[in-house]
Amino acid sequence: MTATAARRTAPTAFVPALHWTTEALVALFELPFNDLLFRAQQVHRQNHEPNAVQLSTLLSIKTGGCSEDCGYCSQSARHGEVQREALLELDDVVAAARAAKDKGATRFCMGAAWRGPKDKDLDRVSDMIGAVKALGLETCVTLGMLKDGQAERLKAAGLDYYNHNLDTAPEFYGQVITTHAQSERFDTLGQVREAGIKVCCGGIVGMGETRRARAALLAELANMSPPPESVPINQLVPMPGTPLENAPPLDPFEFVRTIAVARISMPGSMVRLSAGRQEMSDELQALCFLAGANSIFYGDKLLTAGNPEADRDEALFARLGLKAA
């Protein structure tokens, strides 16, 4: 048996260890709101500086034309709402990264709308990683599903984090995505971890899933060994032309509960407020920070969705006594 075949048949580090059951996390969700936030804040203070928030900026380096059918994504060629664009030039990426650093970001994330990168594209992305890292920023990419050897190439280029979300619970996954199975995402995550790259992995809530499905997603994440270093929690931004464009909005308190349960079940991870912040009030974001969120995407755009302006975030941090980290 080849080494590649052995890796595909043997359990990877990302097979859930079942330390957290879905039922246990549902029980956390069902606590009185104040009790849940109190417990989450205790866990947060035991593991993190209580008033520090890490700032990341996300740039779409290749937009539109993805072959997958993810029901939330306007970049899918099947939905046809976002025009296909070519991979950005290196100078444009470096300029965006320099501007992000000047605004206070410490991590620069680059996303490409691919099922997975071709080797020739990976050469150019590797150049981007090296150039961004030379600016003194942490580097992160989200490129889709990786083939054998590609994670090692990204590691050699200096990549710090690879983002590949589980999106939702196993039982709900097929209602959102049909062109690949969630198990394929675990395969990529296993390759990333084996290459020595840190993992950024979370999900999207508000797609019509039940509370139990939200708990099941968090259980999958928490039972990775180790859990992801970064856990982005995205609130669905309904995009015109996508199958989920008319999804009913998630109750704001339920979103805060999701943040709190993520913090309790993954005490050492950075829990990031990601997509959906533009629609959140300052008060809702403050509750999320109280519940244990300690990272945000910072800037005016997340791939194709809007994001609060940096000036608004700076004003909010000043009001709350938070500091960028």
Give the separation between CA 186 and CA 12, rounded to whole angstroms.
8
Q: Contact 262/217 with Cβ under 8 angstroms?
A: no
The catalytically annotated residue of 39, 66, 263, 277 is: 66
The catalytically annotated residue of 39, 107, 109, 277 is: 109
The catalytically annotated residue of 70, 153, 185, 277 is: 70
Identify which of 38, 317, 70 has the alpha carbon closest to the alpha carbon of residue 185.
70
Q: Cα–Cα distances in Å, from 258 out to 131, 181, 188, 214, 233?
A: 36, 24, 25, 7, 8
109 belongs to the catalytic site: yes
The catalytically annotated residue of 153, 193, 214, 272 is: 272
Give the separation between CA 29 and CA 118, rounded to whole angstroms.
41
Give the separation between CA 20 and CA 126, rounded to whole angstroms.
37
Instruction: Name residue 112's beta-bridge partners.
Output: 62
* Alpha helices (H) along 70-181: 90-102, 119-134, 150-157, 170-173
The catalytically annotated residue of 73, 153, 257, 288 is: 73
The catalytically annotated residue of 39, 185, 200, 288 is: 200
201 belongs to the catalytic site: no
The catalytically annotated residue of 39, 107, 124, 140 is: 140
Provide the annotated active-site residues.
Answer: 66, 70, 73, 109, 140, 200, 272
